[in-house]
Amino acid sequence: MSVNPHHDTHRHARPFPPQHQSRQPGREHEMNPEPEIIREGYVGASRLTGQNVLITGGDSGIGRAVAVHFAAEGAAAVGIVYLDEQRDAEKTAALVEAYGATCVPIPCDVRDPECADEALEVFHKAAGRKLHVLVNNAAAQWPRDDVEKISLEQLDATFRTNVYSYFLFTQAALPHMPDGAAIVNTTSVTAYRGSAHLVDYSATKGAIVAFTRSLAAQLVDRRVRVNGVAPGPIWTPLIPASFDAEHVAEFGKKTLMRRAGQPSEVAPCYVFLASADASYMTGQVLHPNGGDYISS
């Protein structure tokens, strides 16, 4: 089944039109072009049949692509946690349900210490008490070229969104995760090569790598695998919501492949790490980044 109306066989060569969105989180339906969520002709292989999964930041971008791919792989229920992007969340729910999965949209601010417990309760009422896969994916970034201009308020918001929420959702999810369950964390290429204009964001992504490795060691005896994905420049709502129009028009051109990636090119990494195909992998990070060589 193909549910992607935005597939474009020439997407690899086309630059993005200059554009900017004035608030975070960004809106996927306002992007030009909208991201490719799942490639035309994608055929699932029943890798996640009957499983319940929960994705933070699941309404758009990489989170939406992961939700749709999980549904295509036979997931029974897909929970998507999002802030307030109702239109995008409704679109994601329709895409997920087109594959026969139940979608559970959960509006919730992951910066709120109560959000994780409340989200899990909503999900359990709709899908049952077991959670087989948790994808910690919510993220925020506010570029600053001068570290002295990063306010305490920005620092707090970035770490609460990108790091604290990963701890809180993991703590809320673990009591409901059976043997063989999986946690997949979204980090970033910036954790490995840094970013001069995203110092606080990069710091959070480095923390997620350490969190992933440490948590994997702690949970191995509970038979819960913990891995991560470190995307490079990917065309998501975070980009026009973070950068000016000129930057957006050049986005991704510095990669070895000279283009940004699409969410459809990242989500299969999550499918693999969530599935039994990755049963001998924990504490690892995959790197869909357009050709950057990662040495550590």
Distance CA 177, CA 160 (A): 24
- Cβ–Cβ < 8 Å for 1, 39: no
Choose, from 82, 99, 201, 270, the residue flagged as catalytic: 201
| Torsion sign (Cα): 37, 231, 82, 145 | negative
Active site residue 201: yes
Nearest to residue 145, comparing CAs of 205, 204, 201, 196?
196
How many other β-carbons are positioned within 10 Å of the β-carbon of residue 41? 9
Distance CA 137, CA 145 (A): 25
**Catalytically annotated residues:** 201
